Structure 1
Amino acid sequence: MNATSPTPEDASWPPIPTRLLVHALVRGDGTVDAGELYSVAGLLGMTDQQVRLCVKRLVKEGRFTHEGRGRKAVLRATPDATGALDPDVGFVRHAYRQDRGLAPWDGVWRLFAFAVPESLRTARDALRDTLLHLGSAPLQGGLYVCANAITPLVEIRARELGVLSTLTHLTSTDLRVGELTDPTALAAALWPLDEISARHVRLADLARACLARLDAPEALTGPERLTMAVRLAAAFTEAMEPDPLLPPELLPRPWAGAEARRLAAACWSALAEADAPGGPPSSGPRLFALYDGVMDGPDDA
């Protein structure tokens, strides 16, 4: 890594919200060590006042309880507190299966149409958001297309929202939009692949910087390792959330997402190995177990 290459500590990386940091440092036993929290926050450029105010809000919202004072305090996550950086396990595993050639495209487009009345606007918006989250792209008003087999998930959500009767779905192997019929051309026209690729390139840059730092002779301290893990998890989430996980057959080659995920997995494995080797599961943040388990899962998961 040359002198101009970014480093994991580079201030140019997107800032990490304080709330997200607190969730990221929840350990296996549901606690957050305040001393660790303040140390990592400082490395991320946060002030002690920012941390105190965030903790106060989280306690007021009932997401955590607070015991002790200052850096010797302990936060305990309440049962309904969720980890803001927790990966969508099924989504991430599917991505790695695609990267390994274990989830080839069947050549089928899934189309969804709905006409939810204005009186059910909230449900209509929720159904649309579900389709987008699952990797669909809008074709025209109320009509969406997806390359992956998401129909059961869409039906479940539509039923939950009480609008299943308004949902129409069908499949096609000869989708045509204007004069476009080639699947790769359709994918390029329907999804913002340049923007999605740019996010993955940024993740890959961070992962390379992390790997270079982990290979350096100077060992990382515990807070430095945690800071790197939080940055990596945040960048992974930023890259993956808008990714529709199109089948590799529809993507440019080489695809930046596959390389970014490979580097992220290598970086995560190195971080997990360095995190208190041999210690009990509760001794380290859930973040290590969550990401290491998802990225290095069995090929047939």
Structure 2
Amino acid sequence: MNHRDTPETDRPEIPTRLLVHALVREDGTVDTGELYAVAGLLGMTDQQVRLCVKRLVTEGRFTQEGRGRKAVLRAVAAGATGAIAPDADHVRHAYRQDHGLAPWDGTWHLFAFAVPESRRTARDALREALLHLGAAPVQGGLYVSANPIAELVEAHARHLGVLDSVTFLTSTDLRIGDTDDPRLLAAAIWPLDEIAGRHERLADFARASAGHLSREGSLSGTEQLTLAVELAAEFTRAMTPDPLLPPELLPRPWPGSRARRLAQECWTALRALPTAQDAPTSPLRLFRIYGDAIAPPAGQ
């Protein structure tokens, strides 16, 4: 059974490991019967699931009680949800921007560092942290962000033991060559076409899924879980590399705000479905995390 009417090739690509983490319940367990059922709807084979579970248990990430489809996995780490879980503060900030609640003050935040080769691991980790926080390289060792992330950068640098090698500064008159227009600078520094493309994909998926929900009226518990995981995967794929540039720096219309609105509407429709007979007795952590993250800003 195809649980929605979008083409098979349009389904998000979800690694089996990610699926296991996504199905962790609030009590820290994964029902392998649900795991195999959802995996089947996602086109995964039983062998893929068995091998993945075996690896996760061997790595010490889960313990296993029982065998096969009647087994229960228990997450060793209390917060296990895998990379499919969003950064709630990052998502809330995106929705605040969408509602005009986080206007840009015209300040660029810059970070320069010169970490020696002997500390390459720390240097690479700092670079990854900057990229994760939405900063982008201007030239070697110099990164810029349109958002005030200095405290977060400092925390990462301090943790890595390289704070003394990082310079923090702000500017309201950034210029690269002859370009000083903020919109043109943003277009030159960040890969806006790639970011927009991921949001367009999220928008298409959320719109198609919401339409399917309105036509079907109800889904089995397994189908609800599958759609929730797919929506979460698409949302994370769109949001995780998004620097959340202020709307003042983005092309208009910007697909990010539209995609987030459609994802919010789809998630709300999914959560409003009648409880299915085969629904989990303990809700997924994923439901709570996303429910908290994409809730409309206060006063909206």
Alignment TM-score, normalising by the size of structure 2:
0.93
Name the CA distance, whole Å, in 2 between partners of 1:131 and 1:180. 23
2:28 and 2:78 in contact (8 A); partners too: no
Equivalence for 1:172: 171
Is 1:83 aligned to 2:81, yes or no?
yes
2:32 and 2:73 in contact (8 A); partners too: yes
1:201 and 1:256 in contact (8 A); partners too: yes
1:28 and 1:282 in contact (8 A); partners too: no
Q: What pairs up with 1:50-65 in 2 under 5 angstroms?
A: 50-65=48-63
Equivalence for 2:118: 119
After superposition, the Cα gap between the structure-2 partners of 1:109 and 1:275, relative to the gap in structure 1 and judged at 3 Å, is farther
After superposition, the Cα gap between the structure-2 partners of 1:249 and 1:270, relative to the gap in structure 1 and judged at 3 Å, is same
1:64 and 1:81 in contact (8 A); partners too: no
Q: What pairs up with 1:89-108 in 2 under 5 angstroms?
A: 89-108=88-107
Equivalence for 2:38: 40
Is 1:205 aligned to 2:204, yes or no?
yes
Name the CA distance, whole Å, in 1 between partners of 2:5 and 2:130. 36
Deviation string, structure 1 residues 161-196 (Cα, Å, up to 9, x no partner):
111111111111111011111100100111000010
1:65 and 1:75 in contact (8 A); partners too: yes
2:218 and 2:274 in contact (8 A); partners too: no
Superposed CA RMSD: 2.1
Counterpart residue type for residue 24 of structure 2: V
Is 1:283 aligned to 2:282, yes or no?
yes
Residue 276 of structure 1: CA displacement? 3.0
What SS does the corresponding residue of 2:199 show, helix, strand or coil? helix
Q: What pairs up with 1:214-293 in 2 under 5 angstroms?
A: 214-217=213-216, 219-274=218-273, 276=275, 283-293=282-292
Name the CA distance, whole Å, in 1 between partners of 2:240 and 2:67. 37
- What fraction of aligned residue pairs are identical, expressed as a percent? 66
What SS does the corresponding residue of 1:155 show, helix, strand or coil? helix
Name the CA distance, whole Å, in 2 between partners of 1:27 and 1:9. 29
What SS does the corresponding residue of 1:283 show, helix, strand or coil? coil
2:218 and 2:273 in contact (8 A); partners too: no
Name the CA distance, whole Å, in 2 between partners of 1:67 and 1:9. 37
After superposition, the Cα gap between the structure-2 partners of 1:275 and 1:121, relative to the gap in structure 1 and judged at 3 Å, is farther
Name the CA distance, whole Å, in 2 between partners of 1:11 and 1:221. 23
Name the CA distance, whole Å, in 2 between partners of 1:275 and 1:61. 38
Name the CA distance, whole Å, in 2 between partners of 1:177 and 1:281. 54
Name the CA distance, whole Å, in 2 between partners of 1:26 and 1:300. 32
Deviation string, structure 1 residues 212-251 (Cα, Å, up to 9, x no partner):
1110145211111111111111111110111100001000
After superposition, the Cα gap between the structure-2 partners of 1:264 and 1:232, relative to the gap in structure 1 and judged at 3 Å, is same
Deviation string, structure 1 residues 48-87 (Cα, Å, up to 9, x no partner):
1111111111111111111122211111111356211111
* Structure 1 unmatched runs, 5+: 1-5
Name the CA distance, whole Å, in 2 between partners of 1:276 and 1:178. 59
Name the CA distance, whole Å, in 1 between partners of 2:210 and 2:10. 18
Equivalence for 2:8: 10
Residue 101 of structure 1: CA displacement? 0.6
Name the CA distance, whole Å, in 2 between partners of 1:298 and 1:193. 25
After superposition, the Cα gap between the structure-2 partners of 1:118 and 1:300, relative to the gap in structure 1 and judged at 3 Å, is farther
Equivalence for 2:189: 190
Name the CA distance, whole Å, in 2 between partners of 1:286 and 1:163. 35
What SS does the corresponding residue of 1:111 show, helix, strand or coil? strand
Equivalence for 1:3: none
Name the CA distance, whole Å, in 2 between partners of 1:288 and 1:272. 8
Residue 22 of structure 1: CA displacement? 0.6
1:110 and 1:172 in contact (8 A); partners too: yes
Residue 116 of structure 1: CA displacement? 0.7
Deviation string, structure 1 residues 79-136 (Cα, Å, up to 9, x no partner):
3562111110111111111111111001000111111111111111111111111111
Q: Bigger CA drift: 181-190 or 281-290?
A: 281-290
Counterpart residue type for residue 38 of structure 1: Y
Name the CA distance, whole Å, in 2 between partners of 1:47 and 1:95. 36
Name the CA distance, whole Å, in 2 between partners of 1:281 and 1:298. 29
Name the CA distance, whole Å, in 2 between partners of 1:44 and 1:281. 18
Equivalence for 2:70: 72
